[in-house]
Amino acid sequence: MKISDKLEDFKAQGKTYFSFEFFPPKTDFGLDNLYSRIDRMASLQPAYIDITWGAGGSTADRTLEMSKTIQKYFGLEVMMHLTCTKCLYHQLIRSYGCKEMAFQIFWPSRDPRERNWRMGKT
C-alpha cells in the first residue's frame, strides 16, 4: 500500500498516526542493534518507517538494504528519505535497484516556476 493511501485511511478514520525515522548505522553491530529495536517498536504500529539516505548517497547501499529488510521481515511500510542532489531519476532507479521493490519515488522539482511534486512510479 502506498504510504499516502495509508495516511489518508488514518485521516478518514480520525486516527492519529506517526512514523519513525532512522539513519543507517555505520557498523554491522549497530545495524543488528537497530533491527532489534525496530522489532520491538513494530508493535507500536507506526504508519511507516523513514530511512535516511546520507548526503551524496554516502549510506545509499545500507539504506536500500535496510528498506528491503524492514519491509520483508518486519512487515512495515518504508520510505527512503533520499538526498538526490545532482541525481537523475533513471540513474537512481538503475543504480539502487528500487524498481524491484514496491517503492514510490516522489521527485521534487527544483524549477522555481514549478512548485509541485512530481511522482515517478516504480
Neighbours of 35 (CB within 10 A): 15
- The model's pTM is 0.70
Q: Are 35 and 20 in contact (CB under 8 A)?
A: no
Number of H helices, E strands in the chain: 4, 5
When pLDDT is averaged across residues 27-48 and rounded to a whole number, the result is 95
Active-site residue identified among 8, 21, 100, 114: 21
Mean pLDDT, rounded, for 52-73: 81
Is pLDDT above 70 for 57? no
Is 21 among the residues known to form the active site?
A: yes
Query: SS3 of 68, please?
Result: helix
Question: CATH top-level class for 3-120?
Answer: alpha beta
For the cut 90, the answer to whether the pLDDT of residue 26 exceeds it is no
Cell of 70: 524492514
